[in-house]
């Protein structure tokens, strides 16, 4: 299966490229800006004609949540216009399209995990543009799958885990928000989930003929404060973590207070289990420290 990956230089794209798949099962075609501008239909169609992919996976996203408040049109271009053009081009080519989205499409007012059918209500520019992207993909009405995830981290790029490791070495004490709850998700596990979906789309194409939404994140829930404590405890960093309330750490973009995702639909559809967040955190930290090799 030949798969065109957009946003391949991001942490999810890189995790997908190092995922353990047999050479005769998948051929990855990694692209990123500027070699492929996902907002440009002619550029997308050029790549489709050039490589004849069997599927497209969109890992590209504008994820600078606070900066998006200052650059709403740039965020909208990458998070909404791009997915629309990719979905339309995939439909025209008759191939499936997988798009990644976020827990930030929800308002965070729930106290139980969000299901795919729950009302959305983003409270930031980032969340709104990601929801616009979802809606655009659905309106394109092709063989598309939207997979929402949360609190993504990995050994690649910029993310909470790598930031905590850096600050933990630089400081004796650190304040971290304790009243925002979510499910940290290891990008390596999300990459495996995307591969599972690709295999199902390949083997059961008759099932995936219209847009569908699934939630995927590691199991369990935790605050940013307790997440940071777990990182420091496992790595032996002596930095003391102090709990902060959201109002004590003002940021340009408002975050959901609770954005845990219910993953039962994904688990039932694809017949797989999902690792607990602590288990996957240890896996990632071991890769970062060199205790284990990348997948």
> Annotated catalytic sites, by residue?
126
Residue 153's nearest CA partner among 289, 280, 246, 261 is: 280
CA angle 256/157/101 to nearest 5° reads 40
Q: Tell me the C-alpha to C-alpha distance, in Å, between residue 5 and each of 103, 154, 249, 269.
A: 22, 18, 36, 23
SS3 28: strand
284 is written with which tokens? Answer: 């990632």
E strand intervals along the chain: 2-6, 27-30, 55-58, 97-102, 144-149, 152-153, 173-177, 181-182, 185-186, 212-215, 222-223, 240-244
For tokens 């997948």, name the residue.
Answer: 295
Q: How far apart are CA 30 and CA 22, in angstroms?
A: 17
In 3D space, the residue among 220, 191, 188, 192 whose CA is nearest the CA of residue 284 turns out to be 188
DSSP letter for 23, please.
Answer: T
The CB density around residue 213, as the number of other CB atoms within 10 Å, is 20
Contact assessment for residue 125 and residue 109, using Cβ atoms and an 8 Å cutoff: no
Residue 165: CB atoms within 10 A of its CB come to 18
Instruction: Name the packing angle between helices 82-93 and 41-51 (round to 10°).
Output: 40
């Amino acid at each position: 299966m030949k798969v065109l990956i957009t946003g391949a230089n991001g942490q999810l794209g890189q995790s997908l490229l190092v995922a353990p798949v047999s050479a005769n099962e998948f051929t990855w075609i990694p692209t990123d800006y500027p070699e492929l501008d996902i907002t440009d239909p002619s550029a997308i169609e050029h790549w489709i004609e050039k490589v004849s992919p069997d599927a497209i996976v969109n890992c590209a996203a504008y994820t600078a949540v606070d900066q998006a408040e200052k650059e709403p049109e740039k965020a909208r271009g990458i998070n909404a216009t791009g997915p629309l053009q990719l979905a339309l081009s995939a439909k025209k080519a008759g191939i499936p399209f997988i798009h990644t989205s976020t827990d930030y499409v929800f308002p965070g007012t729930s106290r139980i995990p969000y299901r795919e059918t729950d009302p959305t209500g983003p409270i930031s520019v980032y969340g709104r543009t990601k929801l616009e992207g979802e809606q655009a993909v659905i309106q394109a009405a092709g063989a598309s799958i939207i997979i929402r995830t949360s609190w993504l981290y990995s050994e690649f790029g910029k993310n909470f885990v790598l930031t905590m490791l850096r600050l933990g070495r630089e400081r004796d004490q650190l304040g971290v928000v304790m009243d925002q709850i979510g499910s940290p998700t290891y990008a390596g596990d999300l990459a495996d989930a995307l591969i599972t979906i690709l295999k199902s789309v390949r083997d059961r194409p008759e099932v995936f003929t219209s847009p569908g939404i699934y939630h995927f994140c590691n199991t369990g829930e935790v605050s940013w404060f307790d997440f940071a404590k777990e990182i420091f405890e496992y790595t032996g960093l002596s930095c003391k973590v102090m709990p902060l309330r959201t109002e004590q750490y003002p940021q340009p973009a408002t975050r959901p207070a609770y954005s845990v995702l219910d993953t039962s639909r994904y688990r039932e559809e694809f017949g797989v289990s999902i690792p607990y967040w602590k288990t996957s955190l240890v896996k990632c930290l071991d890769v970062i420290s060199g205790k284990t090799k990348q997948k």
